[in-house]
Structure 1
Amino acid sequence: MALSHGRSLTGDGKTLASGGADNTVRLYDLETGQSRILGKHDMAVKTIRFVDQNQSICATGSWDKTVKYWDCRTNQQMTSVAMPDKVLSMDYWNGLLTVGTADRKISLFNMNNPYQPARTVDSMLKMQTRVVSNFTTGGGFAVGSIEGRVSIQYANQKDENGNFSFKCHRDGPPGSKESTVYAVNAISFHPIHGTFSTAGSDGSFTFWDKDSKQKLKSFPKMGNSIACTAFNRTGSIFAYALSYDWHRGYEGSIQGQKNTIMLHACQESDVKPRKK
């Protein structure tokens, strides 16, 4: 089977949706171990999210420049929506599907009308989008890029004066104009507090508070790139995957280096918001 690019787990933890470089979308029943093919794209499937309360409809984003919706009960494609460019990242929360594409465009879908974007905006960042992640408090999303920066952006135009961006995942003396810059590969919002994590090619992760614009806690480098992250339902555990992300090309790949999933027990003081 081809390397998986996208995956999403239902809220009950029983079904996993996966897509990969073989262009195929699959569903896995984690209780029985059985799998079935849900459908296909014309190019690699980059990202998947379940987008309804019953966890029966999933959206898939592909390098073929489409977002497709699938009915998991009937194995039928519901519709296909053309996007401006290759889909690189996608996230869903409480009716808002946020799609980041290769041309730095961010398309916002309201699930009351999922067949066309409600708005399409530009990323505040200058370089290619690596990840988009929706606030778990609603109303907006974060964007991470290959330039070692993150932007906080609000979905409604009336709230856009609250947008801002900041640097992260860089090596160099404080205040120095010269530093080594790493891609921001993953952003995950805490399900209870609304704070968030960033993780990158440098192999480290950091917790942040967007409302007070503060860093909460940084953690040491883990010896390999962090490819993706997630909090559990209560926010007590932070999971992250160590896997080479090819940011240095094939020359940076170390033969025999293992892909590893790590679990970090979150301290309340590390993820709880602070006063402004």
Structure 2
Amino acid sequence: MSGLFGSAAAASSSNTLGDLKQDVELGSPPEDSISDLAFNPNPNDQKDFLAVSSWDKKVRVYEIMSNGQSQGKVSMDHDGPVLSVDFFKDGTKVLSGGADKMAKALDLNTGQGVQIAQHDMPVRSVRYFEANGTPMAVTGSWDKTVKYWDFRSPTPAATLACQERIYSMDVRNNLLVIGTADRYINVVDLSQPTKFYKTLQSPLKWQTRVVSCFTDAQGFAIGSIEGRCAIQYVEEKDASLNFSFKCHRDPPQSNVTNVYAVNDISFHPIHGTFSTAGSDGTFHFWDKDAKHRLKGYPNVGGSITATTFNKTGSIFAYAISNDWSKGYQGNTSTYPTKVMLHPVQGDECKPRPSVKKR
């Protein structure tokens, strides 16, 4: 993929500092903080489409050209900040959930949006999945419920009561992981969607910011507000592989360490390696199996609020916008709001060769 967005040679494998010089800015970005990003996952689509949700109450879908240039394709309004987006598996529609307590589906071909879900409080997270071949949505809300929706019905197919408000949710194959307030993590097997397969407290001591499923659905990563990430396998037999590590924190100075929220974690669709991105304005690529950082990148000039890889793993998109981690005084008119497209070069996301086989 060295031709992507130019022809920069792949960085040498000994150099762990990554390069941002080839990164391209998305045209016509949202007008307020960016909450979520999603690429169309259909491998038969020749084109890349990127969905972006924002606090400006809009969902925007962009077409990304092979040279990194982009153009807006379609958009949809909510009645409040939009907090989450996800694509249908076939890439034809985008799901979104927001502070208006509803989830919607946007048809990319017709530009029409329809409401598909309703909660009593803001919808914090929405994900697409399939149950026995039937397209479904799962929504997680601050009303402490997770609801499943068959698009042919206006009422939920099922409801799961959780311990606390839902802060983050992710789906991969039959694995649904739900992160709530008070550090509860609920794991659901979507073949039995109405009960928890297991519930645990996050191994991280501070509030959960994000949960993200492994590419192979064998486990998930958790990011917290305190610059830590945990790798957690679903099955007890793999418990020895669980670990957590520090990231997104400044070197200690005079016994003080500045720590930053891990705002998003995205897994590479091919290699199974993953990214972390945070309030410190940096992102990193990691190999969980080798417990090794592959690349770290310079500060991008603002908090990174959302990230995602495209379906081939050749583009890493990251959103720069105010995440309010510095409170009201951090919200200045000059704060950047933009989406950047990083061409994944050479070995940036490839796992390190293993010294010993497990």
TM bucket (normalised to shorter chain) is over 0.9
- Picking from 198, 201, 205, the partner of 1:126 is 205
Question: 1:262 offset after TM fit, Å?
Answer: 1.0
Distance 1:52 1:247 in 2: 36
- Counterpart of 1:72 in structure 2 is 151
> Is 1:218 paired with 2:296?
yes
- Counterpart of 1:5 in structure 2 is 83
Name the TM-score, length of structure 1 as normaliser.
0.96
Question: 1:105 offset after TM fit, Å?
Answer: 1.1
- 3-state SS of 2:348 partner: helix
Higher relative contact order (CA 8 A, sep 6+): 2
- Counterpart of 1:102 in structure 2 is 181
Distance 2:116 2:276 in 1: 32
Unaligned regions of 5+ residues in structure 2, if any? 1-78
Q: What do residues 105-126 of structure 1 show as CA deviations (whole Å, max 9, x unaligned)?
A: 1101001100111100111100
Question: 1:177 offset after TM fit, Å?
Answer: 4.6
> Is 1:21 paired with 2:99?
yes
Question: 1:74 offset after TM fit, Å?
Answer: 3.4
Q: What do residues 132-180 of structure 1 show as CA deviations (whole Å, max 9, x unaligned)?
A: 0000022100000001000001101111111100000011259x85221
- 3-state SS of 2:199 partner: strand
**Identity percentage of aligned residues:** 51
- Counterpart of 1:82 in structure 2 is 161
> Is 1:262 paired with 2:340?
yes
- Counterpart of 2:73 in structure 1 is none
The 8 Å contact of residues 191 and 235 in structure 1, kept in 2 or not, is answered as: yes
Question: 1:258 offset after TM fit, Å?
Answer: 4.3
Structure 1 range deviating more: 226-235 or 74-83: 74-83
Question: 1:30 offset after TM fit, Å?
Answer: 1.4
The 8 Å contact of residues 89 and 128 in structure 2, kept in 1 or not, is answered as: no
Structure label with greater radius of gyration: 2
Question: 1:14 offset after TM fit, Å?
Answer: 1.5
- Counterpart of 2:76 in structure 1 is none
CA RMSD of aligned residues (A): 1.5
> Is 1:229 paired with 2:307?
yes
Structure 1 range deviating more: 61-70 or 155-164: 155-164
Name the TM-score, length of structure 2 as normaliser.
0.74
The 8 Å contact of residues 56 and 73 in structure 1, kept in 2 or not, is answered as: no
- Equivalent pairs counted in the alignment come to 275
Specify the code of the residue in structure 2 equivalent to 1:262.
Answer: M
